[in-house]
Amino acid sequence: METKTKFWQDVRKDWQFYFDEGKSYLNTCKKLIVNPKSFDNEFIYNLAVLAGERLVLGMLLSYDYIPSSTSLSGMLQEGKEFYQLDEDILEGARFLNKFQTFCSLEVIPFTPPDQQELESIVKYIVLIAQFSTNNLNKLVTAEE
């Protein structure tokens, strides 16, 4: 009996899986910004960043390109051969990174964004969703 995994088997299905997951996370963030329930700003921030990363990963996979970077800014820069990358897109990624230092030898406590910053972050991820949608590989999406 053959077992089938969901990942890295079919480029068309794989890019769609990650892209759809990113859209789903973003939709949740938009709802939580209005009504956070028991979720704090740190959780919503992390979910928003994950949404952006999944959207960009899905977009890059649509080109049959597997990025070596796992950060949003790193993946965006890796894919420059597929699209034009405006400075506002990179600036938004830098804004996200100000809340968390990655790969630092110093242990710096996480500073969650305040409500206004969090709203800006979710708006930025909406921009990432639009950017990713506009820059999907048209050849792959046309075959579906």
Global pTM value: 0.86
pLDDT digits (tens, 9 = 90+) for 25-70: 999 999 999 999 899 999 999 999 999 999 999 999 999 999 999 8
List the Cα angle 92/98/101 in 5-degree steps. 125
Count of CB atoms situated within 10 Å of the CB of 78: 16
pLDDT of amino acid 140: 77
- Sign of torsion over alpha carbons 133, 37, 33, 53: negative
| Domain contains 27 | yes
Which residue stretches of 11-114 are H helix? 11-34, 41-61, 72-78, 87-97
pLDDT: is 9 or 58 the higher one? 58
| Domain contains 103 | yes
What is the average pLDDT score of the chain?
87
| Domain contains 68 | yes
Q: What is the number of structural domains in the chain? A: 1
| CATH number for 44 | 1.20.120.330
What's the domain range around 49? 15-135
